[in-house]
């Protein structure tokens, strides 16, 4: 069974999009640029030393805002990237149709759809930032450990799925005469050593948590910057093809 919807199709896989069962949406190129322009509102960039300074100055109160943003930015970033990459795949599918290349590129579109399905599944995970903030107030230490583990696992899974979609997009758009750089497979995030980090936090009486916090802020920062570079290159290509 092929991945993706089949409406309007006969004998060929259809454009892989998790959104096609929803009400009508703008054309793929418009969806792409709308998602592209939203990144300043979703991809929050932390400055660790600024955050630490404000946390100390406010006697810890600013730390609750930091914790809230850790969840909010990853949840909204994932949703935005899902929309953007899905739109880029759908636009490529339409262009492939105009060039008679859909049959040839169908395997790439199907693989891209499978990676998009991973990102879509993540939108249903329990990551409501307000609820996690309340939990952190009730049980500070243990909730932080659980939160850091979940957020790290989210970034690992998210990054791997994105690299998969980006690879297929580079193949698809290259075949359509608009080359894109292939993603660096080594970019994919590696999982933290959760047991070792938890033990280090306990043994150091919480001091190691500062380093863990630093990682939770800066690793997604680097992820966002890599995404932005890829998005900008893709935006130039789509603008040229419209």
Tens of pLDDT, residue by residue over 19-76, are 444 456 579 999 999 999 999 999 999 999 999 999 999 999 999 999 999 999 999 9
Q: Find, among 172, 163, 75, 84, the residue nearest to 127 by Cα.
A: 75
Number of neighbouring beta carbons within 10 Å of residue 173: 22
Q: What is the pLDDT of residue 48?
A: 96
Q: In whole angstroms, give the CA distance from residue 92 to residue 102.
A: 9
Q: What is the pLDDT of residue 188?
A: 82
Residue 7 is assigned to a structural domain of this protein: no
Residue 15 is assigned to a structural domain of this protein: no
* pLDDT higher than 60, residue 17: no
Residue 21 is assigned to a structural domain of this protein: no
Q: What is the pLDDT of residue 9?
A: 34
| Domains: count for the chain | 1
Residue 20 is assigned to a structural domain of this protein: no
Residue 23 is assigned to a structural domain of this protein: no
With bands split at pLDDT 50, 70 and 90, how would you rate the model's confidence at 6?
very low
Q: Find, among 45, 172, 13, 49, the residue nearest to 105 by Cα.
A: 172
- For residues 211, 213, 219, 222, the Cα torsion angle rounded to the nearest 10 degrees is -100
Higher pLDDT, 106 or 26: 106
pLDDT in tens, 206-232: 899 999 999 999 999 999 999 999 999
Residue 13 is assigned to a structural domain of this protein: no
CA distances from residue 140 to 20, 67, 137, 210 in whole angstroms, order as listed: 41, 11, 6, 14
pTM of the entire structure?
A: 0.86
* Structural domain span for residue 235: 28-241
Q: Which residue has the tokens 């899905």?
A: 86
Q: What is the pLDDT of residue 186?
A: 80
* pLDDT higher than 60, residue 2: no
Q: Find, among 52, 70, 214, the residue nearest to 136 by Cα.
A: 70
Q: What is the pLDDT of residue 16?
A: 53
Q: What is the pLDDT of residue 8?
A: 36
Higher pLDDT, 6 or 86: 86
* pLDDT higher than 90, residue 170: yes
């Amino acid at each position: 069974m092929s991945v993706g919807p089949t409406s309007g199709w006969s004998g060929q896989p259809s454009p892989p999009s998790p959104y096609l069962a929803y009400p009508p949406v703008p054309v793929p190129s418009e969806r792409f640029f709308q998602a592209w322009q939203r990144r300043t509102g979703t991809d929050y960039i932390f400055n660790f030393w600024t955050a630490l300074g404000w946390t100390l100055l406010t006697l810890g109160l600013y730390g609750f805002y930091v914790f809230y943003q850790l969840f909010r930015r990853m949840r909204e970033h994932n949703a935005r990237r899902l929309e953007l990459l899905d739109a880029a795949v759908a636009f490529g599918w339409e262009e492939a149709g105009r060039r008679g290349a859909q049959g040839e590129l169908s395997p790439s579109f199907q693989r891209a759809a499978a990676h998009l399905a991973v990102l879509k599944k993540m939108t249903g995970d329990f990551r409501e930032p307000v609820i996690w903030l309340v939990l952190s107030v009730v049980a500070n230490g243990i909730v932080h450990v659980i939160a850091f583990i979940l957020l790290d696992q989210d970034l690992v899974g998210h990054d791997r799925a994105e690299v998969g979609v980006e690879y297929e997009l580079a193949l698809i758009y290259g075949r359509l005469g608009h080359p894109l750089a292939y993603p660096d497979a080594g970019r994919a995030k590696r999982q933290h050593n959760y047991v070792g980090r938890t033990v280090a936090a306990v043994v150091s009486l919480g001091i190691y948590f500062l380093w863990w916090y630093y990682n939770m802020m800066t690793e997604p920062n680097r992820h966002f910057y890599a995404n932005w570079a890829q998005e900008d290159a893709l935006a130039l290509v789509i603008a040229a093809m419209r």
